[in-house]
C-alpha cells in the first residue's frame, strides 16, 4: 500500500485565505481572540495518511506537538490498520521533518521491520521527499481545502468542534488522540 504522510496544524484563530462571491454584503472573517481562561489550545496538531488505493485520509490528532515518540505511535497505529486489511508492506512518503528522521524513529522502524520479518505483520518502507518541497506531497492540498471547509467566520470554535469538523470533512472515523509525553 502506498501512502503520503504529513502533519498539519488546525488553528482556532488564524483563518485560511478565502475568496467568495456574494450577491450583497462581502463575506468578512472576523479575527478571533482567545478568552482568558480558555482551556483549549490555540491550534491542534494532526497526522494524516493519504491512501492512494482509496483516496482516503486516515487521521490522528495529537495532544501536544508532533515529536518522535508521537510519530512512532502513529506509525504503529498505521501498521495495525494495514494489518487488519491483510496488507504486507506500507510504503510511506513523507518530508524530512526532524521528528521523521530522528534516531528514535529510525530505530523504531528498524526494530519494527525486524519483528515483522520474524513474526509477520506490515513492513514499513519510508521514502523521503526533498527538503522544502511540499508541492510534491499530494496530501497538502487536502489540508488546504479542509481548513477552508471547517472555518467559522464569526465565532471561535472549541477544540472539540475543530476535531469533529475535521473528521466529518474527511469522512474519517474519530480515534483517540495520540499523547505527547513530557519528560
> Which residues pair with residue 43 across a beta bridge?
11
- At 84-102, the pLDDT tens digits run 999 999 999 999 888 888 9
Instruction: Indicate the fold that domain 2-17+32-175 takes in CATH.
Output: Nucleotidyltransferase; domain 5 (3.30.420)
- At 124-182, the pLDDT tens digits run 999 999 888 888 999 999 999 999 899 887 788 899 999 999 999 999 999 999 988 76
Greater confidence (13 vs 82) lies with 82
Helices (DSSP H) in 14-138: which residue ranges? 68-84, 103-119
Burial of 116 (0-12, 13-18, 19+ CB in 10 A): middle
Which triple of cell numbers denotes residue 19? 475568496
Which triple of cell numbers denotes residue 147? 481548513
Domain limits, the chain: 2-17+32-175
Question: Which residue matches cell numbers 473528521?
Answer: 167
Helices (DSSP H) in the chain: which residue ranges? 68-84, 103-119, 139-150, 159-170
Distance of alpha carbon 133 from alpha carbon 156, whole angstroms: 32
> Which residues pair with residue 123 across a beta bridge?
89
Q: Which of 5, 49, 6, 12 is nearest to 33 (CA)?
A: 12
Greater confidence (67 vs 13) lies with 67
Amino acid at each position: 500500500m502506498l501512502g503520503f504522510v504529513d502533519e498539519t496544524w488546525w488553528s482556532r484563530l488564524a483563518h485560511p485565505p478565502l475568496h467568495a462571491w456574494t450577491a450583497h454584503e462581502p463575506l468578512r472573517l472576523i479575527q478571533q481572540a482567545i478568552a482568558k481562561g480558555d482551556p483549549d489550545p490555540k491550534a491542534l496538531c494532526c497526522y494524516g495518511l493519504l491512501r492512494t488505493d482509496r483516496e482516503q485520509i486516515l487521521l490522528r490528532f495529537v495532544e501536544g506537538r508532533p515529536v518522535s515518540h508521537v510519530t512512532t505511535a502513529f506509525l504503529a497505529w498505521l501498521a495495525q490498520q494495514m494489518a487488519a486489511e491483510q496488507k504486507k508492506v506500507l510504503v510511506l512518503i513523507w518530508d524530512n521533518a526532524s521528528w521523521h528522521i530522528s534516531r528514535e524513529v529510525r530505530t523504531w522502524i528498524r526494530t519494527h521491520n525486524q519483528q515483522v520479518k520474524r513474526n509477520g505483520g506490515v513492513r514499513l518502507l519510508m521514502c523521503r521527499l526533498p527538503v522544502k518541497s511540499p508541492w510534491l506531497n499530494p496530501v497538502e492540498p487536502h489540508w488546504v481545502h479542509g481548513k477552508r471547509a471547517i472555518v467559522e467566520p464569526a465565532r471561535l470554535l472549541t477544540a472539540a468542534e475543530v476535531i469533529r469538523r475535521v473528521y466529518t470533512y474527511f469522512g474519517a472515523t474519530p480515534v483517540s488522540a495520540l499523547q505527547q509525553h513530557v519528560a
